[in-house]
């Protein structure tokens, strides 16, 4: 067993407990968490790693939604309008994907680790990111993605998807969890949605899907109108949407670990359904700002838990969760900054963990020992400021512990 102590422990537990001068005893799971003086009394024979003044110890961050296969993009893709972005992705897809080889993806994963992320939900369209994901020490929920609406292609697409999933399943380990992503309601034929969800239920795999990311998607799904008309006609010879939003959501019953990404155009009825499904919402504020100039209405979520995702570098300039948290904090300027910062640290830890069916994201007994440490630039007088100051000032972390090991 190892023990580490810090000035501040941010537990992200049920009560949002903050322990001043606290310590954590752990092996691969967290065994004990208490004040340093109590831990010293309880474990007199174990050497304690004492972190310096203004140090913080908290659960590792969980990035619930990222597309690593688009890590090659910096300045190529068009932002400002979802439809222009989509067309630019189609135009540059080959080049971008070729650029994102394992070496590049591994370097991005390494930077994610240094910026405090210990777990990712990786949406994999082609499994070109598999090799890098397997090699990285981060915890991965590896979402093999299904996409395609053309009736005559269904068998081929489903066979290809099952191949990718079965290869991913060969790498299953305590830090690599195979899972299923449905691309979106507009891009996946209901037959494929039904069949992949059947697999998810049989094998108890976590599931995620993009949902109502843009106005264009809303108009197409509800009314077969808008810019998507041209897109579907030109690329797929399709004049009507394959589904309606509620029909799509209805297919997701009895999925244990389920999340929907974006939801910026979802209605209150959609959110009621998402709540009934026991799903979480992955909030990707930077991506939504860049592609759509819109933002998720957190008020509409009521008590649906939300998580934080960076989305890919196809719609973000950074995969750092602290960069993303700063953006979320600044974007929702109607919220009290202190309370909201506390909520955001939970969203980026325990909520991400629950959305993907993990046992992580909290400094609590029997949780996986995934932790990060860093130092604040100066003292904090009032502990209610702590979460906000962490988000404002943290760029890189000092120590990263995954499954009880320093990595
Ligand atoms: Zn995405």
Q: What CATH number should be reported for the domain holding residue 376?
A: 2.30.40.10
Q: What is the DSSP letter of 252?
A: T
Q: What is the pTM of this model?
A: 0.98
Residues 285 and 341 in one domain: yes
Q: Tally the domains of the chain.
A: 2
- How many angstroms does the Cα of residue 261 sit away from the middle of ligand 1? 7
Q: Which domain holds residue 29?
A: 2-60+362-406
Specify whether 119 is located in the same domain as 24. no
Cα 86-313-402 angle, rounded to 5 deg: 140
Kindly state whether residues 155 and 238 are assigned to the same domain: yes
Q: In this structure, are 112 and 12 located in the same domain?
A: no
Q: How far, in Å, from the CA of 262 to the mean position of ligand 1?
A: 8
pLDDT at 188: 97
Query: Do residue 370 and residue 397 come from a single domain?
Result: yes
Whether residues 222 and 325 share a domain: the answer is yes
Ligand 1 mean position, distance from CA 4 (Å): 36
Judgement on whether residues 304 and 261 belong to the same structural domain of the protein: yes
Residue 15, C-beta contacts closer than 8 angstroms, at least 6 positions apart: none
- Give the three-state DSSP class for 254: coil
Half-sphere exposure of 168 (CA within 13 A, CB side): 30
| 247 is a catalytic site residue | no
What's the pLDDT score for residue 305? 98
pLDDT at 269: 97
The predicted-structure confidence for 239-275, as pLDDT tens digits, reads as follows 999 999 999 999 999 999 999 999 999 999 999 999 9
Q: Based on the domain organization, do 243 and 279 belong to the same domain?
A: yes
Verify that 287 and 393 share a domain, yes or no: no
Shared-domain flag, residues 31 and 148: no
Intervals of the chain under pLDDT 70: none
pLDDT value at residue 299: 96
Distances (CA, A) of 125 to 21, 57, 101, 403: 45, 35, 14, 28
Distance CA 95, CA 329 (A): 34
pLDDT tens figures, 155-196: 999 999 999 999 999 999 999 999 999 999 999 999 999 999
Query: Which of 69, 213, 217, 265 is flagged as catalytic?
Result: 213
CA distance 116 to 394: 9
Domain final position from 355, 375, 390 = 355
Give me the pLDDT at residue 215, please: 96
**Nearest in space to 283 (alpha carbons), one of 346, 220, 222, 193:** 346
Q: 53 and 17 in one domain?
A: yes
* pLDDT value of residue 234: 87
Within this chain, do residues 280 and 400 fall inside the same structural domain, yes or no?
Answer: no
CATH number for the domain that contains residue 193: 3.20.20.140
């Amino acid at each position: 067993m190892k023990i580490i102590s810090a000035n501040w422990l941010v537990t992200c537990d049920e009560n949002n407990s903050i322990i001043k001068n606290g310590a954590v005893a752990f092996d691969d799971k967290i065994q004990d968490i208490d004040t340093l003086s109590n831990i010293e009394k309880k474990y007199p024979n174990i050497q304690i790693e004492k972190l310096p003044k203004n140090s913080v110890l908290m659960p590792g961050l969980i990035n619930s939604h990222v597309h690593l296969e688009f890590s090659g993009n910096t300045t190529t893709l068009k932002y400002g309008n979802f439809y222009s972005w989509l067309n630019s992705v189609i135009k540059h897809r080959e080049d971008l994907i070729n650029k994102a080889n394992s070496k590049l993806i591994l370097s991005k994963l390494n930077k994610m680790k240094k910026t405090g992320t210990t777990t990712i939900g990786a949406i994999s369209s082609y499994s070109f990111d598999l090799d890098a994901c397997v090699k990285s020490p981060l915890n991965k929920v590896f979402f093999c993605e299904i996409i395609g609406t053309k009736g005559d292609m269904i068998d081929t697409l489903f066979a290809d998807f099952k191949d990718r999933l079965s290869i991913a399943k060969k790498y299953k380990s305590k830090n690599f969890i195979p899972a299923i992503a449905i691309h979106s309601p507009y891009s996946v034929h209901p037959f494929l949605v039904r069949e992949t969800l059947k697999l998810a239920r049989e094998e108890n795999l976590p599931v995620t899907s993009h949902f109502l990311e843009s106005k264009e998607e809303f108009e197409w799904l509800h009314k077969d109108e808008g810019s998507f008309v041209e897109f579907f006609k030109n690329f797929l010879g399709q004049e009507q949407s394959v589904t309606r939003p509620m029909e799509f959501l209805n297919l997701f019953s009895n999925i244990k670990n389920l999340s929907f990404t974006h939801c910026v155009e979802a209605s209150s009825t959609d959110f009621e359904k998402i709540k009934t499904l026991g799903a979480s919402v992955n909030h990707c504020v930077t991506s939504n700002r860049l592609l759509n100039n819109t933002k998720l209405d957190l008020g509409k979520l009521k008590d649906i838990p939300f998580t934080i995702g960076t989305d890919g570098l196809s719609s973000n300039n950074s995969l750092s969760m602290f960069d993303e948290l700063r953006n979320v904090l600044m974007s929702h300027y109607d919220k009290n900054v202190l309370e909201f910062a506390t909520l955001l640290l939970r969203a980026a830890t325990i909520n991400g963990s629950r959305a993907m069916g993990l046992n992580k994201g909290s400094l609590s007994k029997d949780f996986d020992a995934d932790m990060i440490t860093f130092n604040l630039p100066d003292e904090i007088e009032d502990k209610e400021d702590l979460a906000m100051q962490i988000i404002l000032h943290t760029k890189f972390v000092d120590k990263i512990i995954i499954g009880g090991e320093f990595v």
